[in-house]
Structure 1
């Protein structure tokens, strides 16, 4: 590298592939240019050199280069969701900005633009870009952080400008637990075609995607058990995607009571081993998003239950097991959680009721203290005792 005068200032030049290339320009004097050359030489010796021209690459161009190899490591469903976040948010708002111009303030503004949305300047009530939920904003920021980390690894930029962004807080959605009368109303409101699916979700706590992916050969109505080996998700254009379950422990055998077997039995008649147990109304296609988006809300309205997510049926199942005093380890295995800590983190707040029931049961199995308050002074009349009022009498 060398320095030379360029117009009113100085620039740094280098020979690359037989051609003279300008590395940086605009230095006010020769001393400043030489100091920059010294810094660059030191960075190269340390393996920390960043080509100044790399920062001129547009974020959108970098995404085009980075995304294919990264996407190949993802599950199909994750490819779809993360690809959507990049297209709809990152490329739309930041794709035109050079990597070197992305700083912490720019990223911070981007996140709050997502949360605030953008209203039409002349038409009140109309959105040019609708606001997103805080959790969505955090998810978009996460993929942005990841692709900028890759740019740092490729020495296109020195630091990740998304590393210290303030993110909006996410309010945890309240879980809805249906009571037994509410479950009865829900099932009564279900059309005949959909009642077996809803009944199975309530009675087993399966994830919705696990239930819709069930094959006929994986269900034994006589033994009252089924095998979870895959999950179904909505793909692009409504084409379903079948994947492995959420975690290794999600591959499991789940039992169900005879009433569920009675409801499922007609669905097995004249069906092949690999046929899907649940289908759309035509009896052929897999269950489509139409069930969640249109049929399910109508069922809830008919039952008068207000807002209940399909996943709340899973929460309901766990809540009833916990209230019945079933061990958390057994519940965790039945739910297919990655570990018992997941079960405890999600449903730990329900254990207080169970603990109170345990204390009641323990108190009932022990004799009441005689002759005074336990630990106090009193007269014993014989019989079993918890604590002796007078240690010298033993």
Structure 2
């Protein structure tokens, strides 16, 4: 490696494979070029050398090299959504930039552009922005590991706050209105979602042979997702604990029984209106909104039927551990984090039960020498009470 004059400045050169190659140029003086060459040499000895030419690789070129091996580690549904985020956002707005030009400021401006939208681009939600940033962060991490860049510029990006979507819990009368407004063909599916709390994809993936209406139970072993061109994608359930057996009451069994008659065990339990194809996105996008409109329920997501199921179980005082297993949550902490705010009513019931188990001789109205006035407005001491009554 050596330095030499190049036009009005200086450059660093090296012989690679019998050819003289420029490593970096544009230094204003020989001293500056030599100092940079010394740093490069020291980095090589430490194993920390980054070839300055590597940073001129465009982000698109790096994605082309990195994506196939990364995509192979993803589930089919995740691969589809991740590919969409890379193609529609990262490639579209940053792809032509050299890796060296993708700095912290550029990424922050990219995040702002996603939030604001622009010509031909709609603003996207904070959650989607975070998902796009996560994959950008991952691919730049891989560029660091490959020694194309020294540090990941996506590390310190400011991201928009995600507001948790408000859950909708249907009351018993509202559930009645929902079922009354549901067309007969779709009523067993909607009833099952309410009565079991299954995820929508778990319900649509059910096979005839995995439902036992006499025993009142079903097995969740698969999940269905929308694929490209309407072709469904079947995957494992969301978590390891999502592979589970779920019970249901006789009323649900009566509704499901006709769907089992003369059907192959491997056939999907629920089908589209033609009785052959699995349930398509048409139900969620067109049929479900019409049902809600006819029921006069306003905005209710299909996933809110799962939330409704849990809310009724918690209101009935069922243990959180049992609810967590029934829902197929990864752990009880997930159940607690999502539904913990609903536990107040259950806690009040617990306090009533605790008070009822204590001996009456403890004198529930006397707290450490204090008792309440009959109207409950203030506490008085037992000594004060004795003085008032001359005892």
Instruction: Please report the TM-score for the alignment, with normalisation by the length of structure 1.
Output: 0.92
Deviations 1:39-77 (A, max 9, x none): 000001111111111111110111011000000000000
d(CA) in 2 for partners of 1:371, 1:272: 64
Give the drift of 1:370: 4.6
Aligned to 1:375: 368
Deviations 1:313-367 (A, max 9, x none): 0000000000000000000000000000000110011111100111122223442
Aligned to 2:331: 339
d(CA) in 2 for partners of 1:112, 1:193: 46
Runs of 4+ aligned structure 1 residues displaced above 6 Å come to none
**Residues 99-118 of structure 1: matches in 2 within 5 Å?**
99-118=99-118
Aligned to 1:22: 22
Deviations 1:99-143 (A, max 9, x none): 001110100010110010014xxxxxxxx1100001101110000
d(CA) in 2 for partners of 1:3, 1:372: 92
Aligned to 2:41: 41
Match of 1:230 among 206, 212, 222: 222
Aligned to 1:382: none
Aligned to 2:60: 60
**Residues 213-224 of structure 1: matches in 2 within 5 Å?**
213-224=205-216
Give the drift of 1:196: 0.3
d(CA) in 2 for partners of 1:369, 1:50: 77
Structure 1 gap segments, 5+ residues each: 120-127, 379-388, 390-394
Structure 2 gap segments, 5+ residues each: 372-381, 383-391
Give the drift of 1:375: 2.5
d(CA) in 2 for partners of 1:254, 1:370: 45
Matched residue count: 372
Aligned to 2:282: 290
Aligned to 2:298: 306
Instruction: Please report the TM-score for the alignment, with normalisation by the length of structure 2.
Output: 0.93
Residues 330, 370 of structure 1: alpha-carbon distance in 2 compared, 3 angstrom cutoff: closer
d(CA) in 2 for partners of 1:356, 1:151: 55
Aligned to 1:91: 91
SS of 1:11's partner is strand
SS of 2:20's partner is strand
